[in-house]
Amino acid sequence: MKNPLLLLLIFVPLLLGGQTYDLETLIELGLEHSYDMQQEEVTYQNYRSYLTSSWLGLLPQATVNVSRINSEVNIYNDNPVTGSTRDWSNSAGFSLTKSISLNESDYYNIRTSVLNKKNAELSLEDMRKEVAFQIFSKYLYVLETQKNLNIREENLRIQQKIHDQIQVQYETGDKSLLDLKLSEVTLIDYEIAVNEAENALIQQRQDLFSYLNLTDAGYDLIEPEFTVREQQPAYQDNNELFRKRNLLKSSKLSSFQQLMDFLPTLSLGYHYYSNSTSEELKDFDSYDDSYTISLTASYAIFDLFEKREAYARTRRNLRIQELDLVISEKDLKKSLSTLESDLVTLRRSRDLYEEKLILSESNLEMAQEQFRLGMISTLDLDKVRLDYLNAQLSYNNRYYELIRKQEEINRKLSLLILGKW
């Protein structure tokens, strides 16, 4: 567990009797332990490391060597060899080498590494938004399904009362057998609706906590204060387009590098070497220095054909990338237009269902007053109450769908999910 504080935030309220889950804590916990997030984080750190390595490639090659050798030396006394002795010899040296070519690969490595790091950072940001959106969406489904179940259970209770009343009226001759059978069919329909809602709630909770890799303790989910945005966000390019543009820049850089390969290879080199074989290696006056500056030019004749084919392949791939970017830009605008159209429709549906809900609530209040005055029966009152609950059910469904759709637009445009992630 990387962050025990998150566990305390989620479980301490449960121990204190709160026994609830909240969306923000679950999202933070999900981000902390998401395998996809960890994978993207590792990828990002690796590309940072590649960029550092590319900059280090600009440093010259430096070598230090120190040696102490014990060797046998022959002793000559006029001739021939009259004996030998062993002697120690010391040696130390330092060399510094750096070469720069006209088509310097270190330059291209740095430029490419910068673009790759930017893309890795964008991918990490997108994954964070994706994980937050998935948890938010699944959390929302649980809230919606729970409310639907509550309403359907209340509907079933009322329908049972209606059926019981019709049963009594049938026995007294006020209702026909057909009325009774139709009531039984309606009652079965409500029982089916409750059963399906219970199963849907179980599945939605399993889906949420499976994604979080947590054990569901069965506690209630707190409903946050969601803000319904009446104005649509302005269009902007998302991270996917930025990544494709960076990939296109990288391909153009590679194409230019291959084009430069058609020119002769020019290299400027510098080599410095200092060496000493003195007994006292600390005696720096005993070191002999040497400097070498070289300028070389070469041209591989038969490599020209291979370079031409490689360059042609790169250019063809580059044209495909450019076309893919144009198509992606059009697809984003088209997809966003569809989402915005859906959002407008959902807003209108929400407003209409809200009006219907207000009217149903008003009808229920009038029916309750009429029932109190003895003007309508319990059966009529229950039917009005059913209409009110069904209106509430329809409004809830459109409300949650509207909240989900506006965050889907945020995800599409790489905006913050819920204004935070």
Q: Is the peptide bond before 80 cis (omega within 30 degrees of 0)?
A: yes
Q: Which residue has the tokens 């590649």?
A: 50
What is the Cα–Cα distance from 421 to 40, expressed in whole angstroms?
Answer: 16
Average pLDDT, integer, range 395-400: 93
pLDDT at 210: 92
Place of tokens 């893919």: 324
Token pair of 125 as six digits: 């940001």
315 assigned to some structural domain:
yes
Domain that includes residue 177, residue range: 4-33+103-264+302-419
Rounded CA gap, 152 and 113, in Å?
58
| Inter-residue contact 322 to 248 (CB < 8 Å) | yes
pLDDT number for residue 2:
46
CB 369 within 8 A of CB 390: no
- Which of the residue ranges 38-52, 95-109, 264-278 has the most confident prediction, judged by mean pLDDT? 38-52
In this predicted structure, the answer to whether residue 171 has a pLDDT above a threshold of 70 is: yes
CATH number at residue 252: 1.20.1600.10
Average pLDDT over all residues of the chain:
85
pLDDT tens across 279-328, in order?
555 655 655 777 788 788 888 887 888 889 999 999 999 999 999 999 99
* pLDDT top residue among 316 and 104: 316
**Residue 269 domain-assigned (yes or no):** no
Please return the burial class of 372, using the count of CB atoms within 10 Å of its CB with bins 0-12, 13-18 and 19+: exposed
Inside any domain, residue 210: yes
Q: Read off φ and ψ for residue 81, nearest 5 degrees.
A: -65, 125
Residue 87 lies in a domain: no
In a domain? residue 128: yes
In this predicted structure, the answer to whether residue 17 has a pLDDT above a threshold of 60 is: no
Are 406 and 228 a contacting pair, CB within 8 Å? yes
Task: For residue range 316-361, list pLDDT tens digits in order.
Answer: 999 999 999 999 999 999 999 999 999 999 999 999 999 999 999 9
Cα separation, 417 vs 28, in Å, equals 13
Q: Is residue 57 part of a domain?
A: no
Does the residue 396 lie in any domain? yes
Sequence-distant (6+) residues with CB within 8 A of 270 are: 60, 96, 97, 98, 99, 291, 292, 293, 294
Domain count, the chain: 1
